[in-house]
Amino acid sequence: MFSFQLLSALASAALLVSAAPAPKDNCCDTSAAKMDLPGNQTQLVAPTTAPLFVAIGVGVQNYTCSASTLKYTSTGAVASLFDISCIDKTPAFATIQTTAFKAWSALSAGISATTIGSKIGAPGLLGYHYFVPSPTGAGISPKWDFTSTGKLAGNSTAFVIGSKVGDITAPTNSATNVDWLALNNLQGSLASKIFRIDTVGGQPPTSCVAGSADISVKYTAKYYLY
């Protein structure tokens, strides 16, 4: 089976790989991309460098009913992250989170968010956002994981686990839209800072009755990774 032809094919493949340019981390140039943050706050401070990734997150925020407070408390989230760096300078960009939320809300329960990108003009799936046991040993921490899909697939360090350092209520409709957040890197080499802004949906009902089932509330948001 180990023929000269096979060896020589492998050698050419290796040459092709080594001659290929280094993979780009995102599909378009992000050097001019900027977050639009409210001016009347100091919790979320835009870095002076350009973002590495600009993504739309489409997924759910999960909650459980606290028997002591009869309020829903967060148990994490799961989202698919699509590259929106290529539409950054188009009119669609400002409202992509609303466009995505409408498309996501229209999908029947049980249908995965991974197909939304192609419906909203952002087909490039960069990776996934979900929660993992915290590296600190206490509770759970959010992770952005680009190791299995997109340009960084196969790169085992292409993730970041974050720790929240800033939080403001959504500037519009904060009863339905989850907070805007700033997080710093706790682990991983994908990014040193993560921001969640331009949120749509994701907030739980204001109260629950004892014994209520866990719920998942659909949301979208822009994520900027620096």
Check residue 158 for interaction with ligand NAG (CB under 6 A). Answer: yes
Residues numbered 24-43 forming contacts with ligand NAG, rule: CB under 6 A: 25, 38, 40
Choosing from 27, 78, 165, 186, the residue that interacts with ligand NAG (CB under 6 A) is 78
Q: Which of 166, 200, 226 shows the shortest CA–CA distance to 94? A: 200
Segment contacting ligand NAG by CB under 6 A, of 5-13, 74-82, 87-95, 120-128: 74-82
Segment contacting ligand NAG by CB under 6 A, of 4-12, 73-81, 98-106, 202-210: 73-81
Check residue 108 for interaction with ligand NAG (CB under 6 A). Answer: no
Check residue 152 for interaction with ligand NAG (CB under 6 A). Answer: yes
Check residue 133 for interaction with ligand NAG (CB under 6 A). Answer: no
Min dist CB 181 to ligand NAG, Å, is: 16
Contact (CB, 8 A) for 129 and 188: no
In terms of CB distance, is 38 or 205 closer to ligand NAG? Answer: 38
Q: Please tell me the total number of residues recorded for the chain in this structure.
A: 226
Where along the sequence are the contacts to ligand NAG (CB under 6 A)? 25, 38, 40, 60, 62, 75-76, 78, 131, 152, 155, 157-158, 171, 189-190, 216
